[in-house]
Chain A
Amino acid sequence: MKLEWVAGFGFLFGMAGLGTLRGDDLEYNRDVRPILAEACFRCHGPDSAARKGDLRLDQRDRAIETKAIVPGKPDESEIIARLESTDPEVVMPPPAIHKIVTPEQKELLKRWIVEGAEYQPHWSFIAPVRPPVPDVKNKDWAKSPIDDFILSSLEKSGIEPAPEADRRTLARRLSLDLTGLPPDPSDVDAFVNDPSPQAYEAYVDKLLASDRWGEHRGRYWLDAARYADTHGIHFDNFREIWAYRDWVINAFNRNMPFDQFTIEQLAGDLLPDRTIDQQIASGFNRCNMTTNEGGVIPEEYLVLYTRDRTETTAQVWMGLTAGCAVCHDHKYDPISQREFYQLASFFNNTTQGAMDGNIPNTPPIIQVPKVEDRDRYEKAGAELGAVKTEIETHVAQCKPAFDQWQATTTPDALLSMVPKEHLAFHAPLSDGTENQVTLTVAGQPRELTMTTPIAWEPGYAAPKAIKTRPETPIEVADAGDFESDQPFSCGAWVKLPADGMTGALIARMDESSGYRGWDMWIQGNKFGSHLIHSWPGDAIKVVAQQKLQPGIWYHLMLTYDASKKVEGVKLYINGQPQPVDIEARDLKGSIRTSAPFKVAQRNSSARLDGIVMGDVRIYSALLAPADIARVAGATRASYLVGRPAAERSPQEADELFKWWLPAVDATYQQLSAKNAALAAERSAMEAGGTIAHVMQEKGESAMAFILHRGEYDQRRDQVTPKTPDALPPMKSDQPLNRVGLAQWLLQPEHPLTTRVTVNRFWQEIFGAGLVRSAGDFGISGELPSHPALLDWMAVDFRENGWDVKRMYKMLVMSATYRQSAITTPEKREKDPENRLLTRGPRFRMDAEMIRDSALAASGLLSAKIGGPSVKPYQPEGVWEAVAMIGSNTRDYRPDSGENLYRRSMYTFWKRAAPPASMEIFNAPNREVCTVRRERTNTPLQALVTLNDPQFVESARHLADLALQEGGDSDEKRLDYISRRMLSRSFNPAETKILLESLAEMHAYYTKETLDAQKLIGFGESKFNPSTDPVALASWTMLVNEVFNLDESLNK
């Protein structure tokens, strides 16, 4: 008796283990293999590297071949001799490995050998077939085939199921299971009072139709997908990947069949005619942790990323701990190291680099407009394509029109296109004379005579252009005299003779008074500009990022909008606005100076000699981008047109044509305006949306290296995509990429995907899976408590179109589910962990459900679905304690308003410091795939629900509601609170306790009104100012008490 009890407990009241000692039939999987696996397989199992004496006991043929086992003859079987030996040199397992095989286990092995030593393949590797629904004695109990399986095992154990729970309990249980939130009291009343025989089903259907369903189911999936809002390693910076989270919610709400759900997440990027949504789904494989630590060796991390993707997929779909085969053949499961890397090669072909760049949008990414823009975005994309084709067609056809224009136009006609208005200064610098240049200053011509001859070079917008030399200075006292509140624009044609040049192109600047003034600047062959009151504290400086090549002509232009803001200074090269680096941004004072305007230098320094320049213009106005394009284009075009067509090179002819199209040709202008409008429309939608991290294959075909001991620099054989031999092979029409892998997981012969999936569903509802090790269906995992039920559900799920809602509905419609949670002493003893389902599910809710329940009951919960993650209250310093200086997730600044009250699944998840209050309730850090959360019971959890402002504020809010709406007596208010939180009324004993508490609170806060004020001032939300602070404080503490009841924390 004593012995048997311990053994039973040993298997945690699983169905295995007990019967064997009572003389039932032996079953290899249930009775024998656990012993061999524990004591022998480490050295005599699948792992070829660890195998000792070339002996394998996991395969019958090999064991017989080596005479380790002689079927029918235990006395001749070496294994028995070894087990029973007393010689420390001979006995197995060797004492050094600290494994003990008990006398009972030895007897069992002998009996197994006597009976023929039959092996079985591991149960989960045999494809499920739908078993018959068992016969039960009590024909009235079952409401679904599930119940027949459960009842059948209950009848065998001689335990009665629990009675059905009352409707209020069921209403709350169903709502929490299907939506993650407590039900609305009016829905509960409606259900309780619904006389229809379909009342229960109608209530279930209503919950299944709620959008809260997708959020709640999605939350479990996000643990498996290791979804988080930061990269995870080192800087652990923000990652903008919430589009994937919203995709998951939406997929559940649309009841996407699980096969499609699988294909899109594993291979959405590879599907023909893939949609934005399908690409977002491929973000499943982008949720892994990444690094940007300086000094890392990229290959090391690329190997880790691939490994994580392989392990995650194996764990989520197949319940296999494939990671065990990274360094060596799996010790227990038939996955060799080679097979691991073959599987890994499916994921080893991405264009993603090793470094995340510390940026939110690590490539490969796609743009994701808002859902409401999505149709228009795609349509605009198609229209854009059409317009581009139209443009190409037009360009190919309009040559005759161009030739006709060419024949009739004149240089002057073209120059007339250049803006004349506000032209304050113009120096063509193309005179070609001995020592004179002609300028136009404020509309008046002026001549400048040099003392030495001017050096002329061939021009670009004119036949000649000036070469700057100190001997021929160009200086004008009254040009370019601007104040910082005046707009201006200036430009010139410029050719730099060499690399690395730095100096002023044109300037009006006085170095001696803090560099006051402005310039067009060249810095290491980059074009820039200064606007300075006093350098460097009171100045603007920008430098365009593009480098100017020596020997090439550029049209450079600067505009300033008089705003004194750095954004008000724009730089253009060849008529195109340029991205700039900002080197100074604080201009406050005047830029006006008495120093003269000079070309190729500031007043006394920064000369730029040997550059060739022409057509220097200054406008006393802000020129529009189109005008700037004309200044650049028309000046050059007029020069080209001015030369006989025969003299133009083919490149010049083409240049003129390319200028003519947008500048003159009306059809082209019209088309390109359409093109620009569509592009602008799309980028506006992109800006209003988000991005998605997606998978993207490299051009070559996938492969991976076997890595000795799993080390990135220990490459061995190269392998290509292939699935493990122990599982059914891929079909010949399945491509050797992630699409094929997904199809393979879903093929009917695949023994794992369906079982693992329905088991996880079961776990969410009943607290533990039929296979408790939800992530390990391998040999070292636990056996199913109800194997036939698991197989029945697995086949049923697949045969009914992988319909997720249907499967959950079946679970919650069952009599098994509807049982009351009452635990009798008998059940506590015979079935302490409810493995037999002798009662209804009751367990502490997950972190998110606990917080969401409080927010929902208090009326604070926001109904908004999706969008960027939010930052509710969190104690100071949680991020700071672990984050690097410079990390953009170091400072936690709580949001305000609605974002404080969103569902917990939207809370910003920083991997190095997950949401503090949730982590205490066993929320994972989302670094790696989690398919089963722990469920502990600790004092730190009590501190959260007692003291966290999220809970205290919710309590105050519900107290306020109760005082406003609850009724005119304390009993009624208490009832109001109870119905919102627990979906029932307190019984008289409970009411008595709570009213006593209330009286004590009231007595205290009447005396200590300051404390009352402090308490009700906690949290951002407001309360009714007419509410009596003492009453509000007292009721707040009372709700605090209710929130912390065991019942409130349990479903």
Chain B
Amino acid sequence: MELNHLLQEMNRRHFFRQGGNAVSLAALATLLGREGAQGAPAPAARHVASGPHFAPKAKQVIYLHMVGGPSQLDLYDYKPMMNDWYDKDLPDSIRKGQRLTTMTSGQARFPIAPSKYKFAQHGESGMWVSEVLPWTAKCVDEMCFIRSMHTEAINHEPAISYMQTGNQVTGRPCLGSWTSYGLGSMNDDLPTFVVLVAKPSNTEQVQAISARLWSSGYLPSDFAGVSFRAGADPILYINNPPGVPKEIRRKTLDGIRAINELNYQSLGDSETQSRIQQYELAFRMQASVPDLTDLASEPASTFELYGDEVKKPGSLTHCMLLARRMVERGVRFVQIYHNNWDHHGNLAGRMPDQCKDVDRATYGLINDLKSRGLFDETLIIWGGEFGRTIYSQGGLSKENYGRDHHPRCFTMWMAGGGSKGGTIYGETDDFSYNIVKDPVHIHDFHATVLQLLGFDHERFTYKFQGLDQRLTGVEPCRVVKELIA
């Protein structure tokens, strides 16, 4: 009977906190976890995350997804030998008949386009970084580079979905949803998982993204991302109607609450109690969200650190500062999308804008988090959905060229959150076409990120359609220990 009472109590408290059946089950999970050890049956734990498997190194995540697939060849994967190969054909021994997109599969030739940018080594790690990323280059010793990422997807829609959800076909939960599901909320007044879609300076090759990318898939929808928007209405419908100040809203809510209490007394539906709490939470969010997005309280040093771009609402830099403010306030997972990296042509015309958007902001974010003591527990992830080809798509000159999608290798980096700063992991061949050492598949990467978040990816599952679904799928994959501090 005591347990019964306790369960109900837990249940109710959880309704107060977040509402929804899923969360009440999460409460039950904690309890059953304990009970389970004493031998009680645990069938109820079917739909429940039982908390991290071990102490997380990363408690929060800022994921910068570069939509379109940045060219590893022009940013991080230095291939000096290619200068001798200008306009020569990609050897068959390198291409090995691997499939191409139908955008270039009909090309008569596959002429090599060496990067037009100069590279230099930086930091203690000696990481080679392109001249287009001067600010980022200063941080290489804080960053953990993986130059041997690979995927099977060759077009954007399936590739982004793969990167975000571990599956090329849409409908699975994304990394942010898994993290929310696993670790839960740290802040009652803000969403657990926030999505920001940054506006790139250049929009010549913008790719589609979709709200499906931050859906919770088969996880309960409490774990879906909440999209924040640039401007006066950062969360949909957060603002009161015109002519309705806070005090009037408060009076409405008092009335609603009083009548809902009467309703609860007569009908006894526990969802009514939950609704009362959701309305109170909405009211608190109305106060906390403007506070979050209002940069007036930032010291001058912040603006010096990030540069002037940070003042432009919707810019990537602005989004990254917002991400820092969210992390400070306990948002668990901030997913940022930055578009226009799909450089099929005119790479030289687009790359400087792209890098300008991301470069100083990266420097700003890393240093900002460090100075606030948040860096060690906040994992930053940067990367696209695939890489780009060494051969040129369309016209080729020494000064300009385009590159098609390339899934066989690409570069991503992590920083903070228990990732190992100063790491340079994996190697590609001289053409950055094939991986020659330490390949890291998307599933390996996800397994590693989950490890940093305190989860054994094989045990971090959710029962759906009778199967123990997991982010990393059914094929064997591994945690890349070398990336972990």
Contacts and interface: CB of A to CB of B under 8 A. Distances in A.
Interface of A: 1-3, 5-7, 9-12, 17, 34, 37-38, 98, 100, 102-105, 233-236, 291, 293-297, 304, 321, 323-324, 331-332, 713, 776, 778-781, 821-825, 828-829, 832, 842-844, 875-878, 881-885, 887, 911-914, 916-917, 919-920, 922, 925, 927-928, 934, 936-944, 946-949, 952, 989-990, 993-994, 996-997, 1000-1001, 1004, 1008, 1010-1018, 1033, 1037, 1040-1041, 1044-1047, 1049-1050
B476 to A, nearest CB: 12
Contacts of B271: 843-844, 937, 1046, 1050
A940 B208 contact: no
B157 A291 contact: yes
Given A38-B43, A98-B459, 15 more contacts: A3-B40, A6-B40, A103-B39, A321-B466, A776-B466, A882-B197, A936-B22, A937-B19, A937-B274, A942-B281, A943-B237, A947-B239, A947-B240, A997-B254, A1012-B243
B129 to A, nearest CB: 29
Contacts of A9: 7, 28, 44
B3 A2 contact: yes
B170 interface: yes
Interface string B262-288: 111011111110111011011001100
A1018 B241 contact: yes
Contacts of B36: 100
A331 B171 CA distance: 20
Contacts of A713: 99
Interface residues of B, number: 96
Given A824-B268, A937-B271, A912 B156 contact: no
Nearest to A304: B169
Interface in B9-32: 18-20, 22, 28, 32
Interface stretch (B215-223, B296-304, B434-442): B215-223
A913 B1 contact: no
Contact of A875 (B102, B236, B244, B259): B236
A877 B229 contact: yes
A1033 B233 contact: no
A946 B221 contact: no
Nearest to B191: A940
Contact of B197 (A34, A881, A914, A1011): A881
A9 B269 CA distance: 18
A64 B99 CA distance: 49
Contacts of B207: 884
A776 B466 CA distance: 9
B210 A102 contact: no
A928 B465 CA distance: 15
B465 A912 contact: no
Contacts of A885: 203, 206
B221 A912 contact: no
Interface in B327-381: none
Contact of A942 (B28, B243, B278): B278
B249 interface: yes
A823 B208 contact: no
Interface in B76-114: 99, 101-103
A875 to B, nearest CB: 6
A887 B208 contact: yes
B268 A102 contact: no
18 contacts: A3-B40, A7-B41, A7-B43, A236-B208, A821-B267, A842-B269, A877-B229, A912-B209, A927-B170, A937-B271, A940-B237, A993-B258, A997-B251, A1000-B251, A1001-B248, A1015-B241, A1016-B243, A1045-B256
Interface in B192-238: 197, 203, 206-212, 215, 220-222, 226-227, 229, 231, 233, 235-238
B101 A295 contact: yes
Given A2-B3, A321-B465, A10 B259 contact: no
A1045 B237 contact: no
B236 A6 contact: no
A1018 B242 contact: yes
Given A295-B101, A296-B155, A776-B466, A822 B268 contact: yes
A981 B35 CA distance: 47
A331 B282 contact: no
Contact of B466 (A291, A778, A922): A778
B251 to A, nearest CB: 5
B121 interface: no
Interface in B292-326: none
Contacts of B220: 934, 936
**Residue of B2, B170, B231 with highest tally of chain A CB at under 10 A:** B170
B35 to A, nearest CB: 7
A916 B466 contact: no
Contact of A1046 (B211, B212, B263, B281): B263
Contact of A1033 (B39, B221, B243, B405): B243
Contacts of B155: 293, 295-296
Contacts of B229: 875, 877, 881
Nearest to A98: B459
Contacts, number: 276
Contacts of B465: 321, 323-324, 776, 780
Contacts of B211: 882, 912-914, 919, 925
A825 B155 CA distance: 56
B485 interface: no
A321 B464 CA distance: 10
B133 interface: no
A947 B241 contact: yes
A939 B252 contact: no
Contacts of B262: 989-990
Contact of B259 (A939, A993, A1040): A993
B244 A940 contact: no
B260 interface: yes
A6 B44 contact: yes
Residue from B32, B102, B207, B259 whose CB has the most chain A CB atoms within 10 Å: B259
Nearest to A99: B468
A946 B282 contact: yes
B249 A946 contact: yes
B235 A943 contact: yes
A925 B215 contact: yes
B42 interface: yes
A994 B209 contact: no
B4 A5 contact: yes
Nearest to B242: A1014
Given A780-B467, A925-B211, A1017-B242, A939 B157 contact: no
Query: Closest 7 CB pairs between A and B?
Result: A780-B466, A1015-B243, A1014-B243, A295-B101, A912-B210, A823-B268, A1011-B243
B123 interface: no
Contact of A934 (B44, B221, B255, B404): B221
B154 A295 contact: yes
A939 B285 contact: yes
A10 B157 contact: no
B395 interface: no
Nearest to B171: A928
A1011 B39 CA distance: 63
Contacts of A233: 157, 208
Nearest to B210: A912
Contact of A296 (B20, B102, B215): B102
Contact of A940 (B44, B103, B282): B282
Contacts of B467: 324, 331, 780
A295 B405 contact: yes
B379 to A, nearest CB: 25
A828 B268 contact: yes
A1047 B222 CA distance: 23
A939 B208 CA distance: 29
B35 A6 contact: yes
A842 B270 CA distance: 11
Contacts of A1016: 243
A233 B158 CA distance: 10
B255 A994 contact: yes
B203 A1037 contact: no
